[in-house]
Amino acid sequence: MSICRRSAALILIRDDFKVLMLKRNNDISFGGSFAFPGGVLEETDYKLAQTDSQLILKNHSKYYCNQTYTWYDTSLIAAIRETTEETNISLDSKQLYSQIKPFIRIITPQMMKKRYDTQFFILNLNNYDTLNINKNESISYEWNTPFAFLEKYINNQISLFPPIFLQLIILKQLGSFQNIITYINQGDLLKHTYPHVFQFTNKGILNYPDPNFDLQKLLENEQTDYLKNELKIRYNQIERSDFRFQLEGNLKRLVGHIGKFQNSPLALLNGEIINDNQFTQNKPRF
């Protein structure tokens, strides 16, 4: 068990529905895998967030969880800063506050040695086909569709960590930036900034809050105080309605059983990734 470190990331998506992925340097966290620009929150992020709090509030008030609004401000600043540092794209945070939207907040499960509480944001950004990325952070970059990245992953051509894999599935299913914005702005807006904890099992990924899990055990094991308080408040009642995503790739039909919770975005139920009602031999590596 370990304490969560707060971090943030920014999904850059173009009009042609291609997203930017960086292949991380082997010597840093998540080395060798493809990920969105991002990193841990720094002291300078907290200071700038305090300065710009009213401006951020003006553009993001509907997404706030009352327990985490200062953390949300800082995450927004950190996502912009990290993206600027890693891609050398010049981003003016004050100009972007009205354009960036919160996508999903994912928390590393408790059994991992390194845990991160990461708020992912999303931004429509064009005209950056060629980048001069920071080679200390990443060894390469690629603009491609969510489906193309998923297909490469399933064919063992690239490495993805589970949170990135799940977000690519969501993006692929939504299909356009306008659909993404509609999804973000409908229903329970706070679903994007409340804790979203994944548990990895030998079958795949399960999500909290999920009736298949003992929430009390989760709370007892949680060592991050602010997170334990959020879980107590947000997940004291669990309601769920299920639906299914379908991903087609490499002439194979992959079906993930995914549930949509009232108070949480999307979760992979039971963890089975199946092909023609049978477990695939080449199922994604969780």
pLDDT of residue 121: 97
Q: Quote the mean pLDDT of the chain.
A: 76
Rounded mean pLDDT, 75-99? 95
**CATH number of the domain that residue 156 is part of:** 3.90.79.10
286 falls within a domain:
no
DSSP H or E run through 260: strand 252-261
Q: Where are the alpha helices (DSSP H) in the chain?
A: 43-51, 53-60, 69-87, 93-96, 146-154, 162-174, 177-185, 215-221, 225-234
Number of domains in the chain: 1
- Domain holding 96, by residue range, is 4-128+136-279
pLDDT digits (tens, 9 = 90+) for 235-249: 655 443 333 333 333
Residue 114 has pLDDT above 50, yes or no: yes
114 falls within a domain:
yes
Residue 132 has pLDDT above 50, yes or no: yes
284 falls within a domain:
no
85 falls within a domain:
yes
> 241 or 179: which carries more pLDDT confidence?
179
Question: Against a cut of 0.85, is the pTM above it?
Answer: no
How far apart are alpha carbons 138 and 173 in whole angstroms?
28
pLDDT of residue 222: 82
